[in-house]
Amino acid sequence: MARLSQTSSSEIPPTEQKELADIYSKLREVEAKLIGPSGSAEILPNNLYSFLLRLLADLRAGQSVTLLQNQHEFTTIEASRILGMSRQFLVRVLEKREIPFHTVGTHRRMYARDVLAYKAKRDLSRRRTLDELARAEYAEGLYDHSADDSSPSR
């Protein structure tokens, strides 16, 4: 499964926030089990247990969480919204083969894993560029001056 995390917070009512906090703390204290309709109990595998804890922690922090299957297909409109770009710009990205796609009739479709991989790569590149810019400005001593320092004195 691919995990899609949005940066915007969701409004969770206070009663549900308390319930999430209670479930989260209980899961952290004991082994989590699935109880079937017959009453039989199965201990959750460690990777599923860790995933559940992280999911609850994100929800408790007010983050919205979306779960998608890796084989989930996005339309160009859906992918452009996730990537924060216009559909027309996304089509140009697709034509440059920066994101794999296939067609269903005449419509382009992209797998969730490919869209999220492109987003992660793009975000990492942006972060590196900003870090380099900040280091260069720091080396030049630009962080020692405020915006008011550049204005002429009266």
Contacts of 99 (CB under 8 A, 6+ apart): 79, 90, 93, 110, 114, 115, 118
Considering its fold, how many domains does the chain have in total? 2
Q: CA 133, CA 65: separation in Å to the nearest integer?
A: 32
Which pLDDT belongs to residue 8? Answer: 44
Dihedral angle sign, alpha carbons of residues 91, 96, 99, 105:
positive
> Do 61 and 77 belong to one domain?
no
> Do 7 and 59 belong to one domain?
yes
Among 34, 68, 102, where does a domain finish? 68
Which pLDDT belongs to residue 5? Answer: 45
CA 50 to chain centre: 17
Among 49, 68, 87, where does a domain finish? 68
Which pLDDT belongs to residue 87? Answer: 97
Residue 145 lies in a domain: no
- What is the chain's mean pLDDT, rounded? 84
> Do 63 and 80 belong to one domain?
no
What pTM did the predictor assign? 0.59
Q: Is the pLDDT of residue 26 over 50?
A: yes
Residue 149 lies in a domain: no
Which pLDDT belongs to residue 149? Answer: 56
Which pLDDT belongs to residue 7? Answer: 41
The CA-CA-CA angle for residues 84, 4, 100, to 5°, reads: 65
CA-based R_g, the chain, Å: 23
Place 21 in a pLDDT band, splitting at 50, 70 and 90: confident
Among 26, 53, 68, where does a domain finish? 68
Pull the structure tokens for residue 1: 């499964």
For 39, left (φ over 0), alpha (ψ -120 to 50), or beta? left
Residue 63 lies in a domain: yes
Domain residue limits at 105: 73-139
Question: For 92-148, what is each residue's pLDDT tens digit?
Answer: 999 999 999 999 999 999 999 999 999 999 999 999 999 999 899 888 887 766 666
What does the pLDDT average to over 8-26?
73
Which pLDDT belongs to residue 6? Answer: 44
> Do 64 and 79 belong to one domain?
no
